[in-house]
Amino acid sequence: MPPAQLDATFAALADPTRRAILARLAGGDASVAELARPFAMSQPAISKHLKVLERAGLISRGRDAQRRPRQLEARPLAEATEWLERYREFWEGTFQRLDALLDEMKAKEQ
């Protein structure tokens, strides 16, 4: 996976509105008007966020020319997850050591 793709994916995810748009699209395709509705945002503001998501390949446009629904794309999400999964062993290990330390402290207190 090219580093530029991961750069674009993570940059696109670094915004709460864009993450909320992806969450909405995970439930099914939606037009720009449908996507704008739950946000206190103008359609042009939403369109800007959609452009960022589209350029990153996280969403694409469906075939219906009238509605132009946006749909979620699987691959960049899968690749970003894959990248982060490499660190699971690290953070699970850290949390286990913290848990063990807390148990030890509790045992000493009693």
Binding site for a second copy (CB under 8 A): 3, 6-11, 13-16, 19, 22-23, 26, 72, 74-75, 77-78, 80-81, 83-88, 90-91, 94-95
Query: For residue 78, how far is the Cα from the chain centroid?
Result: 10
- Min dist. Cβ of residue 2 to a second copy (A): 10
Residue 89 in 3-state DSSP?
helix
Secondary structure element (H or E) that encloses residue 103, with its range: helix 88-109
- Min dist. Cβ of residue 76 to a second copy (A): 9
- Min dist. Cβ of residue 22 to a second copy (A): 7
Name which of 10, 23, 11 is nearest 84 in CA terms. 10
